Structure 1
Amino acid sequence: MKPLKPWLSFSDQLEQLRERGLQVEDRTAALGYLKRLGYYRLSGYWYPLRRIDEKASARENRPVRDDRFVPGMAHKDQETIAAIYGAPTGKAFAQWLRSLNFIRNVAAHHSRLWNINVVELSTIPEGWSKELKPSRPFFYFCLIQQLMRVICPNSSWGQRYKTLLTEAFPRLTSQQLSLKDMGVVEGWEDWPIWRGQ
């Protein structure tokens, strides 16, 4: 079994990336992205640009991977990450991710999302409106906005989503089609997670 790679601080991770050829014009911004997104997630974007040791490739007659994903994470680390994103516990955060994966799959396969019953239910965070329904998609768009405010604070996603719901959604007089079917709660635009975008 290969020994585990040594732990590196965010600053050390950035230095390692610079040594490997990453051009960094704004160190503060680069550290911010590493902290919010994580080295592992960003590595997916660097993967196509990696340099493969041709001698090792020739010996094994295939490309060589120099890193391996180690599944599992210490409970303490789960709790730390959950706190960064505003989740009450690591277990709750893991459920958020499973629920969001469900939402992503529905959208990716062009299925009906706006009024679907969500089967991977998450719990409502403390301090959020108890009128929210975890079985309805709107709750998960609120979670997405919560995560976006941490991952990419300058993103306009929240404002574009608000515009889509408040201005672009069809206004029907028959009431057969309503944002309530999506789980939208009256006054949501004024909630803290949706303000200031």
Structure 2
Amino acid sequence: MGHNCVNSTPHATHECGANQAGSFFTPMKPPLSFSDQLNLMSTRGLTIDDRELALKRLSETNFYRLRGYWLTYERDGRFIPNTTFDSIWNTYALDCALRRWVWEAIAPIEIKARALFAYHMAMECGPLAHEDNRYFRSARAHSHSMESLIRERNRALRDGVPCAVHNVEKYGDLPIWAAVEIMSMGTVSQLYGNLDPAKSGVAKSIAGEFGVKPFILRSWLRHLTYIRNICGHHSRLYNRVMTTRANLLKKDSGYDSDKEFPTFLVLKRIYDRSWPERWPSMLDGLEALISAHESVSLNPMRFPLEWREVLG
């Protein structure tokens, strides 16, 4: 059979553009130079005051990275009149600053969660209780967590992480207080969320130290792990729909949404309980970085007008 677009194999060719179901894709767009990318934006109504600077910034970011930041400046495929490249760049710059602030805010929470999970699990259930599915509600979910832990342990051993090497060489395994140091935050969150309250009081003890009930802490850790990964991968936080939402306290329920402001409320509540002396200066820092980009609207993140007082 000749080389044409008839193909009886289940693998589609790029030339034919067919997928395995037999349908056809739209031909791939040709690549555009940075200059052509800027020209395209201009034809769609964007004002570019400094073309050389705009080209430099495009080359340092990526058209599709910036693309997410002009969603609020666009209507029906065209820019709202008077939208400038600087408007988009300031939105991007605010998002970068917010991600750094959030990343730093989550760091001590992650460390505390690891420490408390290791302490209460070990003290109540034993040094290897995290490997015993009897303490967890779903054996299947626990198995997935253990698969993740094995990968993380193997990586730590390859990298020569001292606590992993020492414990494996001496005991043949990692006690929970060492395991939490090489687990991802996702694994810690999954293990905590899967704890069976009928088999131990670990979940309640940890949640109590955060000042909330276990179902709230499960939600918060899962949400903050999601947010942490967004920040860690330099993904857009501004004007993002949160697919992993946090359960808010009853007193905060009026601010519930699938956007960013609930994340800041969760951080406030955790700091109020754990490090109340740190929060005022952190909030000052947040206000300063928002003020430095005052032309960027906070509405897409569902920040209320009185956000400073709400978070104060």
TM range (shorter): 0.5 to 0.7
> Which letter does structure 2 place at the counterpart of 1:189?
R
Change (3 A) 1:52 1:103: closer
Q: Does residue 124 of the first structure (1) align with residue 248 of the second (2)?
A: yes
SS in 2 for 1:116: coil
More deviation, 146-155/103-112: 146-155
1:40 corresponding residue in structure 2: 118
Give the letter aligned to residue 81 of structure 1. I
Query: Aligned-pair distance for 1:36?
Result: 10
Equivalent position of 2:33 in the other structure: none
The offset of 1:123, in angstroms, is 2.4
List per-residue Cα deviations over 1:19-64 (Å, max 9, x = no partner).
xxxxxxxxxxxxxx989953738xxxxx7468938xx839xxxx94
Structure 1 distance, partners of 2:270, 2:286, is: 14
Give the letter for the 2:300 counterpart. Answer: D
Cα offsets for 1:163-186 (capped at 9, x unmatched): 323x22332xxxxx5101111012
What's the CA shift for 1:107?
1.2
CA distance 1:170–1:127, change in 2 (3 Å): same
Partner of 2:299: 180
The AA in structure 1 aligned to 2:238 is W
C-alpha distance in structure 2 between counterparts of 1:105 and 1:147, whole Å: 19
Of 253, 265, 273, the residue aligned with 1:142 is: 265
The 1:159–1:86 alpha-carbon spacing in structure 2 relative to 1, beyond 3 Å, is farther
Matching of residues 22-101 of structure 1 within 5 Å: 37-38=115-116, 40=118, 48=162, 52=166, 57=169, 64-68=172-176, 71=191, 73-75=195-197, 76-87=201-212, 89-101=213-225
Change (3 A) 1:148 1:190: same
Larger Rg: 2
Distance 1:57 1:103, change over 3 A: closer
Moved over 2 A (4+): 33-41, 47-53, 63-66, 68-87, 148-159, 162-165
Q: Tell me what 2:275 maps to.
A: 152
Contact 1:36–1:151 (8 Å) recurs in 2: no
SS in 2 for 1:143: helix
Normalising by structure 1, we get a TM-score of: 0.57
Inter-CA distance 57–99: structure 2 relative to 1 (3 Å threshold): closer
1:84 and 1:66, CA in 2 relative to 1: closer, same or farther beyond 3 A? Answer: closer
Is the aligned partner of 1:114 residue 2:249?
no
CA, structure 1 residues 40+82, in 2 after alignment: closer, same or farther (shift >3 Å)? closer
Change (3 A) 1:100 1:180: same
TM-score by length of 2: 0.38
Identity rate of aligned residues, in percent?
A: 21
Question: Mean alpha-carbon deviation: is it higher for 152-161 or for 63-72?
Answer: 63-72
Unpaired runs of 5+ residues, structure 1, are: 1-32, 42-46, 172-176
The structure-2 alpha-carbon separation of the partners of 1:158 and 1:40, relative to structure 1 and needing over 3 Å to count, comes to farther
- Measured after TM superposition, the shift of residue 129 of structure 1 is 5.2
Could you tell me whether the CA contact under 8 Å between 1:137 and 1:182 is conserved in 2?
yes
